[in-house]
Amino acid sequence: MPNAPGPFGRLRRLLLGAPRDFADRAIFHKLALVPLLAWIGLGSDALSSCAYGPEEAFKFLKGNEYLALPLAAATALTVCLLAAAYSALVESFPFGGGYGVATRMLGRHAGLVAGSALILDYVFTIAISLAAAAAAFLSLLPPEMAHLRMPLTLAGIALLTVLNLRGVREPIYALAPVFAIFLVVHALLIGAGIITQVPHAVETARHVGAGFVGGWESLGAIGMLTLFIGAFVIGGGTYTGIEAVSNGLPLLREPRVANAKRTLLYIAVSLATVAAGLIVCYLLWDIHPVEGRTMNASLATAVFGPWPGGTALVWAAMLSAAALLVAAAQAGFVGGPRVVANMAVDGWMPRKYCALSERLTTGNAVLVMAYGAALAIFVTGGEIESLVIIYAISVFLTFFLSMLGMLRYWVRVKRGERKRRRRIVLFATASLVCGVVLAHACITHLHDGALLAAGAIAAVAVGGILINNHYRGVTMGLLRLYRQLEDIPVATTVDPGPVPANQPIAAILVSGYNGIGVHTVLNAMRAFPGHFKGVMFISVGVIDSGSFKGEDAVDELRRKVEGDLARYVQLARSQGLPADSRMAMGTDVVDEAEKLCLAVATEHPRATFFAGKVVFRRETWYHRWLHNDAALALLRRLQLAGRVVVVLPARIS
């Protein structure tokens, strides 16, 4: 029977919930999201940016409000363009997302840059959304409470961290009512705002036409285009939720691709309608910035003010917007850990970041996002103006690399495909739009955040290169030392019988059939010649974000572990020793290995346990950070249980 959890364990279970059973084949169905929930969990990022994106873009026009109509049209068209592009992307790269596409089609280092930008994107999604939510909430309170913005933002980060450590569906269910209220109130706001201004449409059109004439005379075509693109760039954070769908595809219920495309359709329609509708309403109602008040609040007051219960509708609009910004931060906690985990699988991040917790969440990566968001808040003081340019650059860099990768895919790979010409036009257009916006943001905001964004992305990428070089060096060193051991011929012999229960046996922990495992087996026999009368091989199939893709993937992992153990058993029997194996599946290799070892010790009281460990001649702090010391952790646990454990080194220079 497993030991009862202590006080800390009971508190942890209260906060995070009981461990999930990955052997339950229905668990994937329970964790997966239908399109409606995915729209809430992943699309809140994009939709909530309507609380500040359209406003910042409109304010950038500075007296040239006649450009609001083309700005609204460009915003809606860009949303639809990117949604169509990512809908086509998930067909070809179901589990790739922007990082996977860039890695496969543009090279490993382009993928690293895309992944680094994505991580920064999600970190700033959390930071900006929670900072804006705190500011929106405090704007309804007396001014002397403004100093609470930083504590409220950090408290929001802590709350969402706990919710996401529990599992993805819990926070989405909690935020669903907020999402619905936001949509209903803003649909009413935009609909009423446009319909009630229909009688003044002719006058508005005359003012817009006169503005175009005046702008052409004063600014010229180039000046008007530059102003228009600048306003469009400032609203660049509006489009982030579209990328989140491709990164969060493993969270969707089967059929995943069809559900992802439906989710993208929901996001495109809602985002294009709200963002473009707000810009049009600013123009129709002649809304201008007011100190201490958002333009959305001014618009809601103007539209709802004369209505019975209008004040309640204004509050509902503002509070739902603030709450939806919290939901947007949740999207960062959903998508960001997926990117970190995928990069960890590829060796750009520490391997432990792809490990799943007992709640089947990428818990370590969730904490990375939380720490990053908290650092961003501390560094910038939570000022949205200091974050929005960095945010936009990271967003469009990811878009640009993803679209460029898909363009190359359809130009070079999919020759002869029926949809090839349409796909090339789609991705070429998306690449051009994203490239122009990215270049404009970098040039015009070089000292307003572009350099900081480039430095942050470069820091993550350089760190990834250093980590990857270390892992590659360790792997190559192990291959050079032990590769020849994998090719040891295994003779077919008569089964020497079962492993004796009351005789000394070697219980050897192995991870896959490889040179290190064979090295551990041979060294155990060499260290105790003739002592052991049998061998028991123990292995754990570790379920991490690389293997947690569905019930079929877990079954495939189980078959691989069983096959590797069968090869070890055959190797021992070829040496004339009785051999058998034991295996388990789980998210924590040390916990599962401890259970297996104690069970083997019960059956074979005279068992000596062996484990291999990579050791370095000069071990430093980063070796301990990058390598999980599973063997030493297991050694301590088994020694406390009174068992004999021998750790055999695999030395690396």
Task: Give mean pLDDT, residues 121-134.
Answer: 85
3 state DSSP class of 584: strand
| pLDDT value of position 573 | 86
Q: Start-end ranges of CATH 1.20.1740.10 in the chain? A: 32-467
pLDDT band, residue 16 (cuts 50/70/90): very low
Structure tokens at 434: 């994203």
| pLDDT value of position 545 | 43
In this predicted structure, the answer to whether residue 143 has a pLDDT above a threshold of 70 is no
Share the mean pLDDT of the chain. Answer: 78
In this predicted structure, the answer to whether residue 24 has a pLDDT above a threshold of 50 is no
pLDDT band, residue 181 (cuts 50/70/90): confident
| pLDDT value of position 34 | 47
Task: Give mean pLDDT, residues 72-98.
Answer: 84
Cross-strand bridge partners of residue 650: 614
**DSSP string computed for 111-153:** HHHHHHHHHHHHHHHHHHHHHHHHHHHHTTS-GGGGGGHHHHH
68, 283 contact by CB (below 8 A)? yes
- Give the contacts of 222 (CB within 8 A, at least 6 positions apart): none
Can you tell me the distance from the alpha carbon of 75 to that of 122, in angstroms, rounded to the nearest whole number?
A: 21
Task: Give mean pLDDT, residues 60-73.
Answer: 87
Task: Give mean pLDDT, residues 488-500.
Answer: 70
pLDDT band, residue 492 (cuts 50/70/90): low
In this predicted structure, the answer to whether residue 651 has a pLDDT above a threshold of 70 is no
98, 401 contact by CB (below 8 A)? yes
Highest mean pLDDT of the ranges 193-207, 335-349, 512-526: 193-207
645, 467 contact by CB (below 8 A)? no
Smallest Cα–Cα separation from 358: which of 34, 159, 589, 596? Answer: 589
- Residue 619 burial (CB < 10 Å; 0-12/13-18/19+)? exposed
pLDDT band, residue 31 (cuts 50/70/90): very low
| pLDDT value of position 592 | 79
Smallest Cα–Cα separation from 151: which of 136, 174, 130? Answer: 130
| pLDDT value of position 32 | 43
| Top-confidence residue, 14 or 500 | 500
| Top-confidence residue, 613 or 641 | 641
pLDDT band, residue 319 (cuts 50/70/90): confident
In this predicted structure, the answer to whether residue 167 has a pLDDT above a threshold of 70 is no
Can you tell me the distance from the alpha carbon of 415 to that of 412, in angstroms, rounded to the nearest whole number?
A: 7
**DSSP string computed for 385-396:** HHHHHHHHHHHH
At 368, which helix (H) or strand (E)?
A: helix 363-380
Can you tell me the distance from the alpha carbon of 94 to that of 328, in angstroms, rounded to the nearest whole number?
A: 23
- For residue 649, is the peptide bond before it cis, meaning its omega torsion is within 30 degrees of 0? no
Structure tokens at 538: 């123990």
In this predicted structure, the answer to whether residue 462 has a pLDDT above a threshold of 90 is yes
**DSSP string computed for 455-504:** HHHHHHHHHHHHHHHHHHHHHHHHHHHHHHHHT----------PPPSSS-
Smallest Cα–Cα separation from 39: which of 180, 238, 229? Answer: 180
The 10s digit of each residue's pLDDT in 217-269 is 888 888 888 888 888 887 766 676 677 677 666 566 666 677 778 888 888 88
Q: Start-end ranges of CATH 3.40.50.620 in the chain? A: 490-652
pLDDT band, residue 343 (cuts 50/70/90): confident
The 10s digit of each residue's pLDDT in 103-124 is 888 888 898 998 899 888 888 8
Can you tell me the distance from the alpha carbon of 137 to that of 10, in angstroms, rounded to the nearest whole number?
A: 34
| pLDDT value of position 249 | 61
The 10s digit of each residue's pLDDT in 34-55 is 445 666 666 667 777 787 788 8
| pLDDT value of position 465 | 93
**DSSP string computed for 507-550:** EEE-SSSSHHHHHHHHHHHHHSTTT-S-EEEEEEEE-BTTT-S-
CATH class of 490-652: alpha beta
Can you tell me the distance from the alpha carbon of 532 to that of 525, in angstroms, rounded to the nearest whole number?
A: 8
| pLDDT value of position 345 | 72
Highest mean pLDDT of the ranges 173-177, 204-208, 510-514: 204-208
| Top-confidence residue, 551 or 449 | 449
| pLDDT value of position 27 | 39
pLDDT band, residue 489 (cuts 50/70/90): low
How does 561-575 read in b/e, with b if 16+ C-beta sit within 10 Å?
beebbebbbebbbbe
- Percentage of the chain lying above the pLDDT 70 cut: 77
Task: Give mean pLDDT, residues 363-368.
Answer: 74
| pLDDT value of position 253 | 60
The 10s digit of each residue's pLDDT in 388-425 is 778 888 888 988 999 999 999 888 876 767 788 889 99
116, 397 contact by CB (below 8 A)? no
| Top-confidence residue, 325 or 459 | 459
| pLDDT value of position 2 | 45
CATH T-level fold of 32-467: Amino acid/polyamine transporter I (1.20.1740)
